[in-house]
Structure 1
């Protein structure tokens, strides 16, 4: 390929020299750019190239660094750290919604002083400066200071005009017109687009649509953080038309209304592809649809997802890039919507996806990760978890991913993947990083349980329990009593946070890391099986960080308030209590299971005076009551 084809060849080469971009990734990007350039110039009408035509025909030239971001080989933060203000286009795409809203343009940033240079159409208020800093930091930066730089206001307006945003008034008017006339195809198309855009602007994780025969139930709701709130009310006919249109886009059968369906919708938002995982279900009064938002361009970096804990992100990146780490396991647990899928995708991104083969198995595939071979479970055609696992083994993978453990088949498959000598990972619903091991063992068939524990003891390296907690809005107030950077919630809030004082969520994990030594692994396995949390965390070679550890750091940095911090501490205490109860219950069950009933009956029959047989309830009370006068011999 001619070097002149790529306008930023020298800049990309500089990232290679700085070891930010891998050499094999760079050479592949050159070939990709050459192919795209030749196909588009030849006038191809294949629909697969429509997205790339728009990229190449944009006012700003599309280059190799853009391809690096599309492939997931680079982040904008990587580029800015190396090139500084020599790559102006990158700054124009950082926090574009906030920049357009405030009518500002990011010019450059000084990494050493944590200072961001910006231009603005009009001077920013203090609250607007805080909002800008918050938006930039959410993309992986650590901005502490802003510095104004005079630039042409026409240029700012020109740059920001390329980003499509939707105001609340615009969409409210459109929805009102749509309710009045739901048959207009052009208006229907615009309503679909505006609803998705509004959800992305609000950083919603889920869009929920209810189509019901009851006019009071036809509602569109957004889930933002851990709160679901109604956004728009629809007429019965309008809800039906919109439901049908979303089904068509997701490649579902619009006629089927009495059973669940799954599908995907893709759109381009702020120069990147966004995926919505669609799912429908029948209700007694109509249908329900959920559109799960997966923003492929904004969540693919560990240092964005874990930007408050860079050392954790560095450790996970190092783990994924180790090529000799065969036969190892990483477990991600948490509740629905806690960020498991996003973090699993980020981990795959950190591996050298061109230097190794990554195969993932999911039901369904929630998020597309380029250069990962993703296989989807479909039991209707015999594509079960076991069948796909066997097929994956024949494809010589280096890393095997079970995207979600939800039944005995996927649980057994996830553990057997690691037992084959591969680096593997999975996600599971569990209440803590410690209990995740017991949870997956409880799901496997009885005859496999002992082997399952042995596999975990041999290969478990990381167990992370994820939880998203409320983050303070930029309108937060300084807590004079606490001092330092400590902030407290503004009880009056602001329009940005809908007057709640909280804006968005931040990851607050619980982490467990087990070293490679045989002795520590043996002792860790015993502690995990016996639910001995206190003994486990004391072992040399085991690193455990409770949620309270990470919550304290967030509180000290002014990210969360005292109330949120105290709530995490309470949850930690409750989890420890529950783990101790589980441990004692397990001890009771082990004792009961070891009782030989026939031998007891023989002993009682041989006695002249039969003593009353103790009941199961009395046994449990004897073990659980630590304050009674029973001796160890009695127990």
Structure 2
């Protein structure tokens, strides 16, 4: 019975293309909600007994320790919805009362991820930039579709090229790519896997995240040796990604030589009730101006506002929505 109930919940999440499912304890038992972009949607509330049943069922599916309800645990399992198989990453942790909360990340196959691009020409511009070797960086909030964008760009320009991905964890299964997964306990770090990957002589690298100095250095060296590197960094805007790499020890001269473009993206609600990706691209002369110190700091903000205004003009998003993303 609990499997049937969970299947109903999962089916709703998958049909809505939710990124995460939350099972959170409350005073009466628990609340269940899912997330799309930065919006949370309540599904239902359940008793404390039902909370324990759901948690135990999910932990069993993920091969987690059922008796452990305080320390954090992580696991994974697959769930079939119709003809589609969804990879699920699960995280659990107990509060001071021993009540567990569970969060499940849904990982969809790239081919089953329809992406609505608010200004389609932006993706085509990105694809054009991917024709040359070098480093292209992607930033944006969690759940904004950065990994999906990188995969779809690689698919678009593949043409018999060898593509190797390094992720923690692998988020999108693609049988056309060589996919490596970080395992710090086995010393399979981003930097170490990059060294291994170079021996496979791929044309394109997808690096899940540049998060430390070793990975940043390895990514820059790979980009300067004739590879196309697609990766993400944590930054609040396109221009901020350059500062982030400098904070990780990359010299400005190496960045100027290797960095092809920077893309910042947000997932924004449309007038049709769906979500779409809007990009802020930094390349060519705009990128050169930053390195030369001639860039006006107001220009990136003005460029983003212009993109939002174009979406409003074309009735893609409302003025109210645009104001929330200024």
TM-score bin (small chain): 0.7 to 0.9
Asked if the contact 1:224–1:504 (Cα under 8 Å) also holds between the matched residues in 2, the reply is no
SS at match of 2:144: coil
Matched, 1:188 2:2: yes
SS at match of 1:472: coil
Asked if the contact 2:261–2:287 (Cα under 8 Å) also holds between the matched residues in 1, the reply is no
Asked if the contact 2:110–2:151 (Cα under 8 Å) also holds between the matched residues in 1, the reply is no
Matched, 1:510 2:280: yes
Cα distance in 1, alignment partners of residues 202 and 302 from structure 2: 32
Out of 152, 161, 164, the residue aligned to residue 346 of structure 1 is 152
Cα distance in 2, alignment partners of residues 336 and 462 from structure 1: 20
1:131-530 correspondence to structure 2 within 5 Å:
187-210=1-24, 212=25, 215-269=27-81, 271-285=83-97, 286-296=99-109, 300=113, 304-306=115-117, 308-320=118-130, 322=131, 325-326=132-133, 328-352=134-158, 355-442=160-247, 444=248, 448-450=249-251, 453-473=252-272, 503-514=273-284, 524-527=290-293
Cα distance in 2, alignment partners of residues 349 and 300 from structure 1: 13
Equivalent position of 1:160 in the other structure: none
Change (3 A) 1:410 1:376: same
Cα distance in 2, alignment partners of residues 256 and 411 from structure 1: 37
Cα deviation 1:510-541 (Å, max 9, x = unaligned): 111226xxxx97654232xxxx532896xxxx
What TM-score, normalized to structure 2?
Answer: 0.88
Equivalent position of 1:556 in the other structure: 313
Q: CA deviation at 1:215?
A: 4.5
Cα deviation 1:246-285 (Å, max 9, x = unaligned): 2232343434434333333333445333333322233323
Structure ranking higher on relative contact order (CA contacts 8 Å, 6+ apart) = 2
Greater helix percent: which structure?
1
Cα distance in 2, alignment partners of residues 566 and 223 from structure 1: 21
Cα distance in 2, alignment partners of residues 241 and 430 from structure 1: 40
Cα distance in 2, alignment partners of residues 440 and 259 from structure 1: 34
Q: CA deviation at 1:208?
A: 0.6
Change (3 A) 1:416 1:284: farther
Cα distance in 2, alignment partners of residues 525 and 258 from structure 1: 49
Equivalent position of 1:534 in the other structure: 296
Asked if the contact 2:223–2:258 (Cα under 8 Å) also holds between the matched residues in 1, the reply is yes
Cα distance in 2, alignment partners of residues 283 and 406 from structure 1: 29
CA RMSD of aligned residues (A): 2.7
Q: CA deviation at 1:553?
A: 2.1
Greater strand percent: which structure?
2
Asked if the contact 1:348–1:372 (Cα under 8 Å) also holds between the matched residues in 2, the reply is no
Gaps of 5+ in 1: 1-186, 474-502, 538-542, 572-635
Matched, 1:547 2:317: no
Cα distance in 1, alignment partners of residues 143 and 48 from structure 2: 29
Cα distance in 1, alignment partners of residues 60 and 52 from structure 2: 12
Cα distance in 2, alignment partners of residues 260 and 411 from structure 1: 29
Cα deviation 1:105-137 (Å, max 9, x = unaligned): xxxxxxxxxxxxxxxxxxxxxxxxxxxxxxxxx
What TM-score, normalized to structure 1?
Answer: 0.47
Asked if the contact 1:400–1:423 (Cα under 8 Å) also holds between the matched residues in 2, the reply is yes
Equivalent position of 1:99 in the other structure: none
Cα distance in 1, alignment partners of residues 87 and 106 from structure 2: 6
Asked if the contact 1:278–1:292 (Cα under 8 Å) also holds between the matched residues in 2, the reply is yes
Q: CA deviation at 1:293?
A: 2.3
Greater radius of gyration (CA) = 1
Cα distance in 1, alignment partners of residues 67 and 172 from structure 2: 26
Change (3 A) 1:526 1:260: farther
Cα deviation 1:378-431 (Å, max 9, x = unaligned): 111221222211111112111112112333443333333323321101112211
